[in-house]
Structure 1
């Protein structure tokens, strides 16, 4: 009798485990929208159908789809996108062809949408990373870049970030309108600057400007959190606290590349694959999903533009690109 009970218990565990393993995914029609912090420029390996958007096969939408156990998903994210490119076609950094409006990927039966957008609005991130390093020599321990962007006592970067929040809230409303039954997740930006200290060989900002840069990013994530709260039907995933100790100065623990582009890891000031893993894990936690729970999802083919591969490489390596 005891032997029979043991056998029955083992069978129950086996059958239960099988049922869990073969259970249908909670979400079946996942669409990712966003900018280069979503698309993953420079992270091996690029998707051939979205070369001009610099979309990686190892960005967080791909990793999240894997964790969700999805067979396929749609990634409409594109490097250089801002909130206007949700409803308008996007002209790439080199104006050859266009990328379709990202809202065009949404459907009425879409059941999960992640949105990672806002850093490019009003040119905030691009202006910071292209201007601040050149000003460091003028005052290495001071705040020359903050002074540069302060006009009549107003911090123009933080003012622009505040306006970005309103734009993102409108984006969220547009997502709900097009996919009314979808779970919507707004994904924030991981930290670039360290909580303390400097690393001028990696982040060539003046010492005081690093703290200011961090403050601008805090303001951006705060604006995104407010947009999600005001929307009332969107979950915000705050990557700022989650990325503590993984800033660009963190060496082997860094989630973000510094000033130098590495075409086999990440472009300047953008996430490594490790950063994408961190983002996918945080979104997964918000969805109640364990990491690494599914088989590799296959992206639905969504050609980005009419631009060929050679032009895409030119776009990726062009100096001054900010996505």
Structure 2
């Protein structure tokens, strides 16, 4: 993703990736919860498992390229593949795609290399399990990247701009995303009335404290703001899962202490320059395994 070690371009790349909807999660309501026990089971050679989601689900570069289009950067070692290998459904379909938003569930997604059909096309009446990891890109942080990168470690340009006048723009966008996720869950239930649904939250990316500037060139004030604000995204995912008869896989708690600011041998989410197979600021193979473990506890 990033090939240079410094400069303004690197700052923008780092913050853009950070702001795609992945943050440190501290929630009162978001601990894992199993989906209702309804209909036929999935696993042991029975059932149909469909995985929906964005790049934290498709997991670019953590394994070999899987499926089409190539632009989805879908790995055969992502958490849906790991879950499938453990529970062994009769059929497994992974249509996750890097860059996906909730609109990508019902509409086509243009990638840098091919078009991904609407992800909901894979969900049918025979589906017995659906996992969905979505919402981060809907908040639309990437367009604000230039405002968050800073050469001053104590500054908070992003927070200052986004909360000017007493209106928190990110909170408003998260509220909109919450409604979209609710609508998505209803659509999944309608297409697959027998399926158990698990909403998969985002893992820990940002650490406690003020961050690790300049390795992560985000000012202390913005690290705190983004950590708390992006935690709200996981909160609303958990809330909508509960309200719409779905389970919620909390992947933040088990990945805490393995964020981008930790040492390479303990890091489960890669930093600016990945030291293991993954793309910048995304889970590596260990991170995907942790996410898989969180899901498996709910569906095994």
- With the length of structure 1 as denominator, give the TM-score of the two structures: 0.75
Look up the match of 1:3: none
1:31, 1:114 within 8 Å by CA — same for their partners in 2? yes
Residue correspondence of structure 1 range 1-323 to structure 2 within 5 A: 25=44, 27-47=46-66, 49-70=68-89, 72-92=91-111, 94=112, 97-124=114-141, 126-127=142-143, 130-131=145-146, 134=149, 136-137=150-151, 139-231=152-244, 233-251=245-263, 252-260=265-273, 265-287=277-299, 289=300
Bigger Rg, which one: 1
- Pair 172,127 (structure 1): closer, same or farther in 2 beyond 3 Å: same
1:81, 1:120 within 8 Å by CA — same for their partners in 2? yes
Paired with 1:228 and 1:187, the residues of 2 have a C-alpha distance of 9
Which protein is richer in helix relative to its size?
A: 1
Spell out, residue by residue over 1:105-137, the C-alpha distance to the aligned partner (whole angstroms, 9 max, x if none).
Answer: 01101000000000000413x346x33553x21
Using the TM superposition, give the Cα deviation of residue 201 of structure 1 relative to its aligned residue in structure 2, in angstroms: 4.3
Using the TM superposition, give the Cα deviation of residue 149 of structure 1 relative to its aligned residue in structure 2, in angstroms: 2.0
Paired with 2:67 and 2:196, the residues of 1 have a C-alpha distance of 29
Residues 79-88 or 202-211, more deviating: 202-211
1:195, 1:244 within 8 Å by CA — same for their partners in 2? no
Look up the match of 1:20: none
TM superposition outliers: structure 1 runs of 4+ over 4 Å: none
Paired with 1:41 and 1:100, the residues of 2 have a C-alpha distance of 19
Paired with 1:257 and 1:237, the residues of 2 have a C-alpha distance of 21
Using the TM superposition, give the Cα deviation of residue 198 of structure 1 relative to its aligned residue in structure 2, in angstroms: 2.4
SS at match of 1:236: strand
SS at match of 2:125: coil
Paired with 1:45 and 1:201, the residues of 2 have a C-alpha distance of 32
Which runs of 5 or more residues in structure 2 are unaligned? Answer: 1-42
2:69, 2:114 within 8 Å by CA — same for their partners in 1? no
SS at match of 1:229: helix
Using the TM superposition, give the Cα deviation of residue 154 of structure 1 relative to its aligned residue in structure 2, in angstroms: 1.4
Residues 58-67 or 201-210, more deviating: 201-210
Which runs of 5 or more residues in structure 1 are unaligned? Answer: 1-23, 290-323
Using the TM superposition, give the Cα deviation of residue 206 of structure 1 relative to its aligned residue in structure 2, in angstroms: 0.7
Using the TM superposition, give the Cα deviation of residue 202 of structure 1 relative to its aligned residue in structure 2, in angstroms: 3.5
- With the length of structure 2 as denominator, give the TM-score of the two structures: 0.80
Using the TM superposition, give the Cα deviation of residue 26 of structure 1 relative to its aligned residue in structure 2, in angstroms: 7.4
